[in-house]
């Protein structure tokens, strides 16, 4: 820091006036540092803590077949950071989980310090042909309990494989938009939008996204994530 104009040219204690000006200068520098280093759309609270968003899901969240850095939570956090959001995306994905499995572990997967939840469950229910009524009941209870805790949710929809028949597909597909409306939560209609059935965007099993597929999911879901962050900030400040 340059020497203050008029400061005595000695190693002794500066006079009171010089000390006062020095304090004011340091305070001004601190204020400017905050203004120019905190993004305008930062998701931090007044204490500087990033929002904590739990991604509650199955292997599509857990990143089966991918490195941790390539999985949905990590790539989403990076994309949000690039837009200036201070957010921690917690990976609470468990490969093979059904909606009922997610409900069974809800309390410890979504701890008290959680600010918002991305709910991505149901794909395994459809793959196993589980009764849609069972899936609906589990997701409904998850949403009800999160609402009681005043945690905003982004519900990610899923579509049933068409080889299960029209009746099953209609019953299953309708679960997600109907629950989103009844619980007044944010809704992303199909988690695998633009990725499902695309060989270039999936791993060899044909159902789990590869890194390029994950990046496309992140790109498409970002607008809804920004809405979720806005809701979380509003509730945190209330």
Catalytic residues: 59, 205, 208
Half-sphere exposure (Cβ direction) of 115: Cα atoms closer than 13 Å: 25
**φ, ψ at 153 (rounded to 5°):** -130, 140
Strand partners, 89: 53
What gap in Å lies between CA 118 and CA 232, rounded to an integer?
12
**φ, ψ at 49 (rounded to 5°):** -90, 135
Strand partners, 54: 90, 117
Q: Sort 73 into a burial class: Cβ within 10 Å, 0-12 / 13-18 / 19+.
A: buried
Closest CA to 156 of 75, 72, 213, 51: 72
Backbone dihedral region for residue 53 (phi beyond 0: left; psi -120 to 50: alpha; all else: beta): beta
Sign of CA dihedral 160, 162, 163, 164: positive
SS3 133: helix
First vs last C-alpha separation in the chain: 41
């Amino acid at each position: 820091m340059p020497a203050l104009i008029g400061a005595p040219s000695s190693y002794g204690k500066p006079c009171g006036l010089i000390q006062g000006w020095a304090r004011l200068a340091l305070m001004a520098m601190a204020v400017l540092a905050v203004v120019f280093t905190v993004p305008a759309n930062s998701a931090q609270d007044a204490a500087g803590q990033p929002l904590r968003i739990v991604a509650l899901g199955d292997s599509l969240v857990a990143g089966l077949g991918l490195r941790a850095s390539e999985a949905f939570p990590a790539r989403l956090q990076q994309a949000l950071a690039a837009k200036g959001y201070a957010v921690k995306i917690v990976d609470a994905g468990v490969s093979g989980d059904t909606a009922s499995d997610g409900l069974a572990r809800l309390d410890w997967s979504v701890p008290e310090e959680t600010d918002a939840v991305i709910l991505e469950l149901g794909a395994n229910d459809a793959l196993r042909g589980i009764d849609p009524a069972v899936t609906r009941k589990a997701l409904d209870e998850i949403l009800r309990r999160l609402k009681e805790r005043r945690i905003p949710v982004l519900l990610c929809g899923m579509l049933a494989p068409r080889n299960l028949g029209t009746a099953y597909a209609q019953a299953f597909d309708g679960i997600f938009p109907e629950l989103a409306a009844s619980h007044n939560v944010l809704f992303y209609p199909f988690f695998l939008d633009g990725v499902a059935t695309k060989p270039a965007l999936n791993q060899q099993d044909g159902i789990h996204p590869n890194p390029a597929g994950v990046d496309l999911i992140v790109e498409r879901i970002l607008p809804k994530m920004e809405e979720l962050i806005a809701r979380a900030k509003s509730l945190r400040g209330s």
